[in-house]
Chains A and B, each alone.
Chain A
Amino acid sequence: MERDPAAGEDPAPPDRRPQGRRGRRRRRRESRTRTVRSNLQPPPPASAHEEGAAQGARRRRRWWWWRPGRGGAQHLADNRLKTTKYTLLSFVPKNLFEQFHRLANVYFVLIALLNFVPAVNAFQPGLALAPVLFILAVTAFKDLWEDYSRHRSDQEINHLGCLVFSREEKQYVNRFWREIRVGDFVRLRCNEIIPADVLLLSSSNPDGLCHIETANLDGETNLKRRQVVRGFSELVSEFDPLTFTSVIECERPNNDLSRFRGCITHENGKKAGLHKENLLLRGCTVRNTEAVVGIVIYAGHETKALLNSSGPRYKRSMLERQMNCDVLWCVLLLVWHGVWVRRYQEKKALFDVPEADGGSLSPVTAAVYSFLTMIIVLQVLIPVSLYVSIEIVKVCQVYFINQDVDLYDEETDSQLQCRALNITEDLGQIRYIFSDKTGTLTENRMVFRRCTVSGMEYSHDANAQRLARYQEADSDSEEPVPRGGSLSQRGSIGSHQSVRLVHRTQSTRSHRRTGSRAEARRASMLSKHTAFSSPMETDITPDPKLLEKVSECDRCLAVARHQQHPPAHLSPELSDVFDFFIALTICNTVVVTAPDQPRQKVRVRFEQLKSPVKTLEGLLRRLSPSRLTGCGSAASLFPAKSSSKSGSSFLPVLSADSALLGLEEKLSQPAQAQAVASEGCGEDGWASQPCAPEGCAPDPCALERAPPPPPPKDPELRYEAESPDEAALVYAARAYNCALVQRLQDRVAVQLPHLGRLTFPLLHTLGFDSTRKRMSVVVRHPLTQEIQVYTKGADSVVMDLLLPCSPDDARGRHQKKIRSKTQNYLNLYAVEGLRTLCIAKRVLSKEEYACWLQSHLEAESAVDNREELLSQSAIRLETNLHLLGATGVEDRLQDGVPETIAKLRQAGLQIWVLTGDKQETAVNIAHACKLLDQDEEVITLNADSQEACAALLDQCLAYVQARTPPGAPEKTPAGGAGGRFYPLLRLPPEAAAPRPCLSLVIDGRSLAYALEKSLEDKFLFLAKQCRSVLCCRSTPLQKSMVVKLVRSKLKAMTLAIGDGANDVSMIQVADVGVGISGQEGMQAVMASDFAVPRFRYLERLLIVHGHWCYSRLANMVLYFFYKNTMFVGLLFWFQFFCGFSASAMIDQWYLIFFNLLFSSLPQLVTGVLDKDVPAEALLAQPQLYRSGQNMEEYRPRTFWWNMADAAFQSLVCFFIPYLAYYDSDADVFTWGTPITAIALLTFLLHLGIETKTWTWLNWTACGFSALLFFTVAFVYNSSCATCYPPSNPYWTMQTLTGDPLFYLTCLIAPITALLPRLFFKALQGSLFPTQLQRARQLAKRSSPRKPRAPRDPRGPLPGAPSPDTSEPSCPGASAPASQDDASPGSWPPGAPEASEEPSPVDVSVDVSVPLREASGRRAPGRPSGPRAAVPERRSGDSRAKPARSGRTASLSSVFSLPHFGSPGWISSLSLVGGLGGVWQLSRSSLHGDKREAEFLPGPPPPRDGDLCGLGQRAADYF
């Protein structure tokens, strides 16, 4: 499967791209919808599908099918999985066809076939085909093997069992998966895998719900809820497939997992919409539900799971150069030959063989013939084995990367996966890393940190401390070996552990027993238990003040309810607090499970109670419309009991209630329906839905089971959340005793200490989507019976949707104040790097609700553009909100992220963070992970129009250029308006004193402007100057656009890393896409070339493996070109002595098999195993990575030197035998065989010079090669006396071995050929060693010459050189140096990067610093000892700066920026404490700041003063 080159360029939405051949073929013929009917029903009469199938053509497009047995319209895929490409018969042609898709193969075959033309043939025709056939055979065998393994796994899957309803036996019978057909009814039990895409028709769950786990599909471990098709959930009895007569019309198979649309038409003509909640996808697992029944909609290859699976990607390139080179030679030879032929034509030489007809060839014809022969002779040598070798080497590299134990993640039990097999060397040339933030840099494990309610901030200090402790406990447990530090340090560890013990709670004991969080996480991953439920996330220490308030309102409300008072007397603040927590608890899609019975929801049935309850409930409801439904349904049924219970102030005994639980559930649905109906607008909407009670048919499965255990008594409930934020908030609310205890489709139950259980009828859930950036629930409040909308969303969105408050009345003013306060706190949270969410509510009047409901129901039942209508409907609902508060959730950095970033940056990689988060959050995370340094200047680009953006860019550029020293000649048209901005690639090297690096922060809107055609060059130019770039609020499309821009304009290798679906496009566009197999599912991984478990593994992947792969492959390709040039050179020189007749002195066998057999193995071994620098040294000196970025091993100069050397060597290897055998009686092949031997020896010795590490494998391979050649020569030369024309080398080798001359030439020629290379290598190694050589020397010197014992990768490197402590200079300064042709050899020995590094490094570094300190993950905030300060000293300038770790920064350096103040428009400010120097260059943000400033209640704090000041000054400027 060749990788479509366009695919990389055009990240088309996945559903647009037809996947696989099947899809493509089908697409043309099929209509847009498909129709499914039951297989059990007889075929519909002709009239039934008259409307659709009037004409034959139409009929063909529409797929009716029925009756599997009759073989009727079985055009649809059955459920047989067949991923094999070939059958026994089709293998050969099909495989050949596929192989010939590779142009090179066609070329080789053509050349080989050219041999069959007698006029031009060079070899025996059969022989010439041998290498090509060999290659084809090897590839075919590989394909065959793969296909066979696929076949086996297919068979396995096809023979899985499943219950399918049989028409004959009138019951479910066991069938194989492959026998399932579309239209079949399948019955799935709990924990079974879904065999096909099934429309859910019945569930044992009385609510018609079913939970599935999609981990197999997208890796998300949380449960997804699926819902029985409307109209079936209300069936009284068990669903009977025989009675199913409805017709399902749905879209044709596509690969969009998140979309499914269709409608079901019942026999009575009623229609109901189908959406993705009704569809069970193949490959998922049924959880929490005893049994479900569904009808198969898509089977086999048409299932979404299979349409989504795609093979690894392939990229190809290279080699054209060599081919062109050879062709050039052929052209030269053609000319020469023509000349020669003309010269000798008339002379009738004895040796000039005339044509068969006796005439002579015309010079032109002869020249053409000769040319073709020459091509054969010269080309057969070259590329066939190169392709194979490169492929083998890459596969081996992939194998070794996969096998690297240092890339294995203990916690998730996953190792790195290489999904793309042939771009390993790209890993070594990356210049730009584009990283997602959430889940990539951070853990995507949200931890509730603090919140603000009603303008009051609750700092949750204790919670913060707890988190800090976790962090330290982590780093302790991950470094089990005491680091020989001081005793006090160890003591502190001990104390932390004890504290940790204290803080363990019941809920996490099982995890904590295992010791570290790491293990706990691994345990939870392994057991596939609840996602997002590590103790760190679940144990939240409540803020005492807030806790007090919560319990107070709880108490008040309880009392009020008890006394039948309306709860209006609560103070606004308390009511806000209460609503806030209610919102936290219910405004989500979290599913509750009990831990002791994971994924097995508790359910009791009371069938016998069903009908009386219904009537009774209806009666009661009518009697007391404002009745409280809280505190257990018992209240509604048995008033006496209820009153007694609600009166009690302790926790209700839930076990007693549990018996009524199911009952209560049943009650609410009709209740809801009734409520809706009573409101006047609802009949229409619900009409399509039969108002039968929900399907609670006696379920055989359920009946068999023993009465389920009582529901959990303790608060230890597990929450299954779709996103970690949700889980964090629910756990937080639980910490405030406001626990979500149950969520069903139509209601949620909240447990409060005093109020008891409150059940909120859930009217609607408007799910989260990324455009709205919010979600809402509509509930009927059980206490007030009001219809309330709780909205939770990004602050930017929610703040705009608030009810405009009038400044007139006191209440309005108060509201305004609260808002400004909240906004303030939100900013504060953002500064701390917390993710912020605003919580708001809205109370709907009945009329409002009714009107909205009508339109919403219309939207819901719409078949066309349902999504759009729904989102419009949601927007109508979510307005005029009342702000309750905001939360700050911390997304913790992953382990080792700052260190990794520091290393990567040292390695010369420019890291861009592209995130959807808000600017402040992103900036702070960037600070936390050391992406931004304290003393860095930050350019912030926030523009709200194209012109503003252009102006800002110009100003920034002017500023950036002003920073560059005046000495540097620079002719940049500063205001290159309209014109091209050309000095994109070249910048004057910055040789001046070190200055703080620049960073660029840009928001999504400005980014959109900056990515416009007219500005992109400027933007890119500016971004290049900056050491790091942060794009906030960027959409997935923007992410990919940025990557594409950098890739195409800067011609640099890019790597994109991300973990979520929003990163997919970016990952696909980048040269190398890395997916993090984290919590957000597998989409990123599926799209990626490499999948790593954590961000920190990127370091080793790039710096060690990337370097190795690149250097190995570069060296191997160089060697290959050398080898072929040299070998072809031998033939070429011979042409001068054979009349340019394309004759070869080397026997055809040797020619053909030389590359393939004799000289391939050693180079493969070297290409796979050679390590130019040991891993430890590479890790210790990340700047070595730059050699790959600058392509030092394979730049044109190296290439041409290599070629020159090859030419020289071929000259030597040709002319030494030539002169030695000049005027002798040696025949062609007696003379050619020594040359072959010489060439082989030269190659081996050359490889010996190039090989850096000699393992026994290298020795063996070299020995084997030489031995093989001589053995083959001996056998070949004695095998047949008359075969192998024209060479017929009978007994040649044997004669040669008796000839001293043979040995003498074989000795001198290789050595003479290699002397210069060896000499220059030695000279260069001594005089101008490259960084790599130096590192190698150091590594060798420091390590004794004995095999190193297996050890911890992060263990101390004995005497390892400490990293080059020079500051990795700003990219703007280093990039030009790396892009001009500064050869590594030209570096003066003393100053390795004098041209690049602004400051000659004079920091002497303690060589004994163990590597662990350098690369160990130090949690920010830990006291850093003197040795731990080493990484900090990267800042490079000699002024000894106190090592500052963490985010606490001083403001002192803010105003002391060099060159400050020259441009009047620019000002320095510290936006907030700890940000360091920030260049704020925005208009819109100024307005924003002003607005913020006026929100401030009192005299603004100093930082805001700065803001104002800036605003003033900036306003002056504009």
Chain B
Amino acid sequence: MAMSYNSKDEVDGGPPCAPGGAAKNRRPDNTAFKQQRLPAWQPILTAGTVLPTFFIIGLIFIPIGIGIFVTSNNIREIEIDYTGIDPSSPCNKCLSRNVTPCICTINFTLEQSFEGNVFMYYGLSNFYQNHRRYVKSRDDSQLNGDPTALLNPSKECEPYRRNEDKPIAPCGAIANSMFNDTLELFLVVNGSFSTAIPLKKKGIAWWTDKNVKFRNPPGEGPLQERFKDTTKPVNWVKPVYLLDSDQDNNGFINEDFIVWMRTAALPTFRKLYRIIERKSDLHPTLPAGDYFLNIKYNYPVHSFDGRKRMILSTISWMGGKNPFLGIAYITTGSISFLLGVVLLVINHKYRNSSNTADITI
């Protein structure tokens, strides 16, 4: 709207020529797009048109749901709460801070044998690993082995950034609160004799975490050298380079540590602790029978009403035991099917009247 006229029209000469000539007119193009006449599919949502969808959903979901449900039911899983809230629990004694180290033993029985690889988890409840300030409280560069970040961790780690004028490695609240109970599993053979179940420490973290995301500080020397000038997190007993004897599983690339650093989504979570590998096809990994769990009880959860559990579980193609998804599929499928039936009835009943209504509009 700069000017209300267009000088160009005027300058290059008088009136445009008479009709019939090549007078440029402003008629808009008569194209399908500009005239909003693009070919279109125009679904109309009525009982008649929609009901196949409902039936199809029902028919697809119910079988899927059954499949999942069955699969989930076939998964063996046992969960042992060893928080020790219950006074009768062997771990009750550990609730008081005085007993250090506190070791308690919990007996349990597997009714059925566990086939295939068995995964050993520890589970925490009411532990808000997803708390905003908690989640932020880490330094990925440091964990990636960045030497500068190692000695000068990110501010996000406050107040677990420096301790006694030394940078904390690994810094931050997540690392500081790392789960530090030790669980050992024993099979009771013949009543009194027991054998320890071999627990595999490695392979519990994501491959990318272990190999890409987490790295020890560079250097040739021993880990202790590489971590010099740093101090351990406040709550830790040992520094990070003493987490394990295996060089491949020590320092930042300690898999227990890596697993812990992957902050859980929900306040009730489990984290993979060990893997009990299947020995052979013939024997079940964990035969039915009596077991006991040896716990070195370090991790305090009582203060925030948390619970600690140990879980043994086999897995299927769809992961761990999860009855919910199967039920959800079956429910949705059934509801959908039912709604389809309702629509069918409606369609049947109102077809005529709606047709007549159309005429009398």
Contacts of A1300-1326 to chain B: CB distance below 8 A:
1300-1301, 1304-1305, 1308, 1311-1312, 1315, 1318-1319, 1321-1323, 1325-1326
Whether the pair A1255, B39 counts as a contact (CB closer than 8 A) is yes
Residues of A166-224 at the interface with B, using a CB-CB cut-off of 8 Å, are: 191, 193, 216-217
Cβ < 8 Å to A, chain B residues 184-213: 206, 208-209, 212-213
Residue ID in chain B nearest A1337 by CB atoms? B44
* Bound CA–CA A746/B282 (angstroms): 126
- In the bound complex, do residue A1138 and residue B11 qualify as a contact, i.e. CB atoms below 8 Å apart? no
Is B318 a contact of A1300 with CB atoms below 8 Å? yes
B32-A523 in contact (CB<8A): no
Given contacts A373-B132, A402-B28, A1315-B332, whether A1223 and B268 have CB atoms under 8 Å apart is: yes
Chain A residues whose C-beta falls within 8 Å of the C-beta of B156 in the assembled complex: 1285-1286
CB contacts under 8 Å to B, within A1378-1392, are 1389-1390, 1392
Contact A1137 B267 (CB under 8 A): yes
Within 8 A of B (CB), among A522-553: 522-523, 526-529
Contact partner, A1300, options B140, B209, B317, Cβ 8 Å: B317
A345 CB to nearest B CB, Å: 11
A400-B36, A1350-B37 known; A1138+B130 contact, CB < 8 A:
yes
B159 and A1145 form a contact (CB under 8 A): no
Taken together as a complex, chains A and B put the C-alpha atoms of A528 and B10 apart, in Å, by 12
Q: A1337-B358, A1390-B360 are in contact. Are A1290 and B213 (CB under 8 A)?
A: yes
**Given the complex, which residues of A lie within 8 Å of B45, measured CB to CB?**
1249, 1318, 1321-1322, 1325
Q: Are A1139 and B128 in contact (CB under 8 A)?
A: yes
Instruction: State which of A8-16, A152-160, A385-393, A1455-1463 sits at the interface with chain B.
Output: A152-160
A1340 engages B44 (CB within 8 Å): yes
Determine if A616 is an interface residue (Cβ-Cβ < 8 Å): no
With contact pairs A356-B158, A1301-B319, A1304-B318 given, residues A351 and B4 touching in the complex (Cβ less than 8 Å)? no
| CA distance in complex: A1350, B275 (Å) | 70
In the complex, what residue of chain B is closest to A1347 when comparing beta carbons?
Answer: B39
Contact between chains at B26 and A1350 (CB < 8 Å):
no
- Could you say which residues of chain A place their CB within 8 Å of the CB of B130? 1134, 1137-1139, 1141, 1143, 1145, 1228
Chain A 1369-1408 per-residue mask, 1 if CB under 8 angstroms from chain B, else 0: 0000000000000000000011010000000011010000
B307 to chain A, nearest CB (A): 11
Q: How far is the CB of B186 from chain A (nearest CB, A)?
A: 24
- Scoring B residues 11 to 40 as 1 if CB is less than 8 Å from chain A, else 0, what string do you get? 100111111100101111110101111111
Chain B residues whose C-beta falls within 8 Å of the C-beta of A1169 in the assembled complex: 36, 38
The verdict on B49 contacting chain A, using a C-beta distance below 8 Å, is yes
The reply to whether B15 and A529 contact each other, CB–CB distance below 8 Å, is yes
* B155 in complex: contacting residue of A118, A352, A1361, CB < 8 Å: A118
Q: In whole Å, how far is A1138's beta carbon from the nearest beta carbon of chain B?
A: 4
Residues B269 and A83 in contact, CB atoms below 8 Å apart? no
How far is the CB of B137 from the nearest CB of chain A, in Å?
5
CA distance A122 to B136 in the complex (A): 9
| Alpha-carbon separation in the docked complex, A1286 to B339 (Å) | 44
- Stretch of B216-224, B238-246, B343-351 that contacts chain A: B343-351
A1301→B350 contact, CB < 8 A: no
Q: A1286 CA to B172 CA in the complex, in Å?
A: 12
Q: Is A1218 interfacial (CB-CB < 8 Å)?
A: yes
Size of interface on A: residues with Cβ below 8 Å to B: 139
Q: Is A1432 an interface residue (CB 8 A)?
A: no
B320 touches A1224 (CB 8 A): yes
B261-302 near A? 1/0 per residue, CB < 8 Å: 011111111111000000000000000000000000000110
B54 CB to closest chain A CB (Å) equals 7
Bound CA–CA A527/B23 (angstroms): 10
Residues 471-530 of A at the B interface (beta carbon under 8 Å): 514, 519, 522-523, 526-529
Q: Which residue of A lies closest to B61 (CB)?
A: A1308
B88 within 8 A of A: no
Chain B residues with Cβ below 8 Å from A1333 are: 44
Of B40, B141, B353, B358, chain A has the most CB atoms within 10 Å of the CB of B40
Check if A1226 is an interface residue, CB within 8 A of chain B.
Answer: yes
Q: Is the CB of A1082 within 8 A of B47?
A: no
Q: Which residue of B lies closest to A1325 (CB)?
A: B46
Whether A350 and B304, one on each chain, are in contact in the complex, defined by CB atoms closer than 8 angstroms, is: yes
A513 to chain B, nearest CB (A): 10
Other-chain residue from A351, A405, A1286 in contact with B177 (beta carbon distance below 8 A):
A351
B150 to chain A, nearest CB (A): 13
Give min CB distance, A20 to chain B, whole Å.
11
Q: Is A678's beta carbon under 8 Å from chain B? A: no
Distance, CA A81 to CA B41, complexed state (A) = 51
Using known A-B contacts A355-B159, A522-B19, A1322-B343, determine if residue A1301 contacts B131 with beta carbons closer than 8 Å.
no
Chain A residues near B37 (CB, 8 Å)?
A: 1347-1348, 1350
Interface centre among A373, A414, A1225 (most CB of B within 10 A): A1225
**CB pair B7 A160 closer than 8 Å:** yes
Residues of A within 8 A of B123 (CB): 1223
B237 within 8 A of A: no
B42 at the interface (CB under 8 A from A): yes
Binary flags per residue of B148-176, CB closer than 8 Å to A gives 1, else 0: 00000011101110000000000001001
For the complex, is B112 an interface residue (Cβ under 8 Å from A)?
A: no
Task: Find out whether the CB atom of A1327 lies under 8 angstroms from the CB atom of B54.
Answer: no
For A309, list chain B residues within 8 Å (CB).
Answer: 1-4
- Do A1227 and B159 contact each other (CB < 8 Å), given the known contacts A1337-B46, A1350-B30? no
B4 close to A1300 (CB less than 8 A): no
Q: Which A residues are CB-close (under 8 A) to B346?
A: 1323, 1326-1327
- How many angstroms between the C-alpha atoms of A841 and B177 in the bound complex? 108
A374 closest partner in B (C-beta) = B132
Which one of B3, B43, B121, B270 has the greatest number of beta carbons of chain A within 10 Å? B3
User: Which residues of chain A come closer than 8 Å to B19, judged between CB atoms?
Assistant: 514, 519, 522-523, 526
Q: Which residues of A contact B135 (CB under 8 A)?
A: 1143, 1228, 1286
Given A1228-B263, A1254-B43; A349-B27 close (CB under 8 Å): no
- Please state if A1253 and B15 are interface contacts (CB–CB under 8 Å): no
Judge whether A1145 and B343 touch: CB under 8 Å: no
B108 within 8 A of A: no
Contact residues in A for B18 (Cβ distance below 8 Å) = 523, 526-527
The 5 closest A-B pairs by CB, nearest first: A216-B5, A1231-B265, A83-B2, A1347-B39, A349-B304
23 intermolecular pairs with C-beta atoms under 8 Å apart: A160-B11, A216-B10, A309-B1, A351-B173, A355-B158, A404-B35, A413-B25, A414-B26, A523-B18, A1086-B4, A1219-B325, A1220-B328, A1224-B322, A1230-B265, A1286-B138, A1308-B332, A1318-B54, A1321-B45, A1322-B51, A1325-B45, A1326-B46, A1326-B47, A1389-B353
List 18 other contacts, CB 8 Å, given A1145-B265, A1337-B46: A353-B131, A353-B160, A370-B132, A405-B34, A526-B16, A1141-B128, A1141-B131, A1225-B270, A1226-B269, A1231-B266, A1257-B38, A1283-B140, A1322-B50, A1323-B47, A1336-B42, A1338-B358, A1347-B38, A1390-B356
Q: Which residues of A contact B (CB under 8 A)?
A: 81, 83, 118, 122, 150, 153-154, 156-157, 160, 191, 193, 216-217, 283, 285, 305-306, 308-312, 344, 347-358, 370, 373, 400, 402-405, 408, 410, 413-415, 514, 519, 522-523, 526-529, 1082, 1086, 1134, 1137-1139, 1141-1143, 1145, 1169, 1171, 1175, 1216, 1218-1232, 1249, 1252-1257, 1281-1283, 1285-1286, 1288, 1290-1291, 1294-1295, 1299-1301, 1304-1305, 1308, 1311-1312, 1315, 1318-1319, 1321-1323, 1325-1327, 1329, 1333-1334, 1336-1338, 1340-1341, 1346-1348, 1350, 1361, 1364, 1389-1390, 1392, 1401-1402, 1404
Interface positions of B (Cβ within 8 A of A): 1-5, 7-8, 10-11, 14-20, 23, 25-30, 32, 34-51, 53-54, 57, 61, 64, 68, 121, 123, 127-141, 143-144, 146, 154-156, 158-160, 173, 176-177, 206, 208-209, 212-213, 235, 259, 262-272, 300-301, 303-306, 317-320, 322, 324-325, 328-329, 332, 335-336, 339, 342-343, 346-347, 350, 353-354, 356-358, 360-361
